[in-house]
């Protein structure tokens, strides 16, 4: 068993999740190698966000949510073990939500939010961390003159990139993104897709998306969920060439959405 | 101005349709009625304040603010400096005593005990507390603090009584301010692996800050202006302005009450009222400033 885990960042074993006793995710199994972009697709309410939240233990913030069975190994260690530190898990596995949230702080302090808590400077100065993080997401030139201004003056697309910068500043080893572009215009979406492809060399990325074309453009591997069950999981090209199930075919050809 | 524009617009199309004319008449008159109701909100405080200013402004002077009451009967001349000091310290000490409890209590109810039976019970009783008339607090302060605990009629007894009045108002507004922050903020912060305390300190309090200040203003303003809680617990008819925790003090509302009810000097009464209102005004302005500063910092 250990051999499998060695070159995998995530190993998910028969994961099942329920909200207040109602099972919404059944028996998910998945191995994720490093440097892979995994797209999670499927109709609304099928459990995509639930799966994502289970991967960095933010699921337990939802009242009533419960992992019924299964394990999630990250770098060979089950994150649901009793002795795991939740805060460390969340620090190591960054997350970007659908709706960008600016904390009531300056742009600079938003970027440093996690870093300051974890004292995770790696010998760099605060200014350097802010600059590299913002440069990675292509925001530095746009905001370098107003780093001390409140963050909520930014546009939605800029805000989402700020949120990604905030997650990256924490120096995560994996990144989970829940429909990061669904609130954005096409140009901002393009920028974020570019950024995701660029980040791929650094860390494995999970992305939930409603946009089939987006999944096709950026992901290496696809996980198709329907009603809490995996209907198909395979390389992205394959799912588009050879959808195994009628539901999958209807979905990726755009007949249901 | 606005009404007349609407009227012209409608008169063009409505000439053929009495129904439409009638509907527009209703809309316009409804809007006018609402405007009047809104204007009352402006007119009422302005006219009360204007009237008091008109009556008392001649009586305001530097010496009125810096001297203690003089003359026979006392209060016909001199000033009200001891009452200003007394009210100021009563409110300040009352605030210092109650704010930490209200802040931490509000944080607990919103962030730790949310939806628990305990939180609901606490909230219910605190709400009852805000509805208790101020004179009941005065009576309690007198019976418990002044007599039973033998504090005597003193600044400390009055301050504690005022803190009891301020506490529930502040607690509720702080709890509400925190509750109104969407969970998305908490989730986004938790996802970075930080602790709850850190989120409360760096996200929730800064975000709730303007509402928290508004709650403080409401509570402290209410406390400064009430005579009944301090009447039996802290106030005295005359003092030369020395302030000490175990000694009674003069206060603005009780001074006003004495001077008017004993028909000593209406002029003095109006003067005192202006000072009280101005004090509250200055306090509100400071709070507005604090609100800005609080939301700008960091
Ligand atoms: N807090 C909750 N309490 C109870 N049930 C929930 C809760 N959150 C989600 N669910 C249910 O769990 C199932 C999966 O929800 P989830 O949010 O994971 O779906 P999703 O695939 O992300 O949908 P969408 O595409 O609309 O975001 C749904 O049936 C939903 O109704
Ligand atoms: Mg979702």
In angstroms, rounded to a whole number, what is the distance separating the alpha carbons of residues B18 and B24?
A: 10
Assess whether B7 and B119 both reside in one domain.
no
Residue A251 pLDDT > 90, yes or no? no
Please state, as a whole number, how many other Cβ atoms lie within 10 Å of the Cβ of residue B51: 12
Please indicate, yes or no, whether residues B145 and B198 belong to a single structural domain of this protein.
yes
Distance, in Å, from the CA atom of B52 to the CA atom of A89, rounded to the nearest integer, reads 64
**CATH number of B111's domain:** 1.10.3720.10
Mean pLDDT for B148-156 is 94
Contact criterion met (CB below 8 Å) for B14 and B20: yes
- Taking residues A19-32, report their average pLDDT: 94
Most confident of A164-168, A236-240, A244-248: A164-168
Q: Are residues B118 and B37 in the same domain?
A: no
The mean pLDDT value for A125-132 works out to 94
Question: Is any ligand 1 atom within 6 A of the Cβ of residue A26?
Answer: no
- B35 with B182, same domain: the answer is no
Length of chain A counted residue by residue: 257
The length of chain B is 298
Q: pTM for the whole thing?
A: 0.86
B163 in the same domain as B130 = yes
d(CA B97, CA B145): 15
Q: Would you say the CB of residue A19 lies under 6 angstroms from ligand 1? A: yes
Write out the DSSP string of A223-239. Answer: EEEETTEEEEEEEHHHH
Taking the CA of residue A50 as reference, the ligand 1 atom at the shortest distance is: 18
Task: Report the number of distinct structural domains present in chain B.
Answer: 2
Select from B41, B59, B77 the last residue of a domain: B59
Residue ending a domain, among B11, B43, B59, is B59
User: Which DSSP letter does residue A64 get?
Assistant: T
CB of A48 within 6 A of ligand 1: the answer is: yes
- State the complex-level ipTM: 0.92
Question: What's the gap in Å between the CA of A114 and the closest CA on chain B?
Answer: 6
Regarding whether B22 and B120 lie in a shared domain, the answer is no
Q: Identify the burial level of B264 via C-beta atoms within 10 angstroms of its C-beta, where 0-12 means exposed, 13-18 middle and 19 or more buried.
A: middle
Q: Which of B59, B76, B103 is the last residue of a domain?
A: B59
H/E stretch holding A165 reads helix A156-169
Interface with chain A: mutation pick from B188, B197, B205, B208, highest number of A CBs within 10 Å? B188
User: Does B78 have pLDDT greater than 90?
Assistant: no
* Whole-number percent of chain B with pLDDT over 90: 60
Pick from A62, A106, A117 the residue to mutate for testing the B interface (most B CBs within 10 Å): A117
User: What mean pLDDT is reported for chain B?
Assistant: 89
* Whether residue B145 is found in the same domain as residue B278: yes
Say yes or no: B202 and B240 in one domain.
yes
What is the tens place of the pLDDT at every residue in A96-119? Answer: 999 999 999 999 999 999 999 999
Contact criterion met (CB < 8 Å) for A90 and B184: no
Same domain, B103 and B200: yes
- B189 shares a domain with B273: yes
CB-CB under 8 Å, B194 with A101: no
Residue B246: phi and psi, rounded to 5, are: -95, 10
B28 & B116 share domain: no
Mean pLDDT of chain A: 91
The SS3 assignment for B123 reads helix
Measure the CA–CA gap between A51 and A228, rounded to whole angstroms: 9
Tokens of B133: 């008339």
Same domain for B33 and B142, yes or no, is no
Closest ligand to the CA of A40:
1
For residue A5, how far is its CA from the centre of ligand 2 (angstroms)?
A: 28
Structural domain that includes position B77: 63-297
Instruction: Over range A53-77, report the average pLDDT.
Output: 93
- Residue partners of B65: CB distance under 8 A and separation at least 6: B79, B80, B81, B84, B275
Nearest chain A Cα distance for residue B110, angstroms: 15
């Amino acid at each position: 068993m250990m051999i499998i885990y060695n070159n995998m960042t995530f190993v998910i074993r028969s994961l099942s999740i329920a909200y207040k006793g109602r099972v919404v995710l059944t028996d998910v199994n998945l191995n994720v190698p490093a440097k892979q972009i995994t797209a999670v697709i499927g109709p609304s309410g099928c459990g995509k966000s639930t799966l994502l939240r289970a991967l960095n233990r933010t699921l337990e913030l939802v009242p009533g949510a419960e992992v019924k069975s299964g394990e999630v190994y990250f770098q060979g260690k089950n994150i649901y073990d009793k002795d795991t530190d939740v805060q460390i898990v969340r620090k190591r596995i960054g997350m970007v939500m659908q709706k960008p949230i600016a904390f009531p702080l300056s742009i600079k302090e938003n970027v440093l939010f996690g870093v300051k808590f974890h004292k995770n400077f790696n010998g760099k100065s605060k200014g350097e961390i802010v600059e590299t993080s913002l440069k990675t997401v292509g925001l530095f030139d746009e905001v370098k003159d107003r780093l001390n201004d409140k963050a909520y003056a930014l546009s939605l697309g800029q805000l989402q990139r700020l949120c990604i910068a905030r997650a990256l500043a924490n120096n995560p080893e994996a990144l989970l993104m829940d429909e990061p572009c669904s609130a954005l215009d096409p140009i901002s979406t393009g920028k974020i897709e570019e950024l995701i492809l660029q980040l791929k060399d650094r860390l494995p990325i999970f992305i939930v998306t409603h946009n089939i074309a987006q999944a096709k453009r950026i992901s290496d591997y696809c996980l198709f969920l329907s009603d809490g069950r995996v209907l198909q999981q395979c390389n992205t090209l394959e799912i588009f060439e050879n959808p195994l199930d009628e539901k999958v075919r209807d979905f990726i050809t755009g007949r249901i959405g | 101005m606005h009404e007349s524009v609407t009227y012209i617009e409608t008169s063009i199309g409505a000439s053929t349709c009495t129904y439409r004319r009638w509907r527009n008449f209703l809309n316009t008159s409804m809007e006018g009625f609402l405007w009047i109701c809104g204007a009352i909100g402006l007119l009422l405080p302005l006219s009360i304040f204007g009237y008091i200013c008109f009556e008392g402004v001649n009586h305001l002077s530097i010496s009125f603010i810096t001297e203690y009451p003089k003359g026979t009967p006392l209060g016909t001349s001199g000033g009200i400096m001891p009452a200003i000091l007394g009210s100021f310290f009563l409110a300040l000490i009352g605030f210092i005593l109650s704010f930490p409890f209200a802040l931490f209590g509000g944080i607990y109810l919103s962030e730790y005990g949310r939806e628990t039976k305990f939180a609901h019970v606490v909230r219910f009783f605190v709400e009852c507390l805000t509805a208790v008339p101020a004179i009941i607090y005065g009576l309690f302060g007198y019976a418990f603090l002044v007599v039973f605990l033998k504090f005597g009629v003193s600044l400390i007894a009055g301050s504690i009584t005022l803190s009891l009045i301020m506490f529930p108002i502040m607690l509720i507004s702080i709890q509400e301010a925190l509750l109104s922050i969407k969970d998305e903020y908490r989730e986004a912060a938790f996802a970075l692996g930080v602790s709850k305390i850190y989120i409360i300190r760096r996200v929730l309090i800064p975000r709730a800050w303007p509402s928290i200040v508004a709650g403080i203003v409401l509570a402290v303003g209410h406390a400064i202006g009430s005579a009944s809680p301090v009447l039996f617990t802290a106030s005295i008819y005359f003092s030369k302005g020395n302030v000490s925790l175990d000694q009674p003090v003069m206060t603005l509302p009780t001074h006003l009450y004495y001077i008017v009810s004993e028909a000593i000097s209406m002029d003095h009464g109006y003067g005192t009222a202006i000072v009280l209102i101005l004090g509250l005004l200055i306090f509100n302005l400071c709070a507005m400033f604090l609100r800005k500063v609080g939301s700008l910092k960091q």
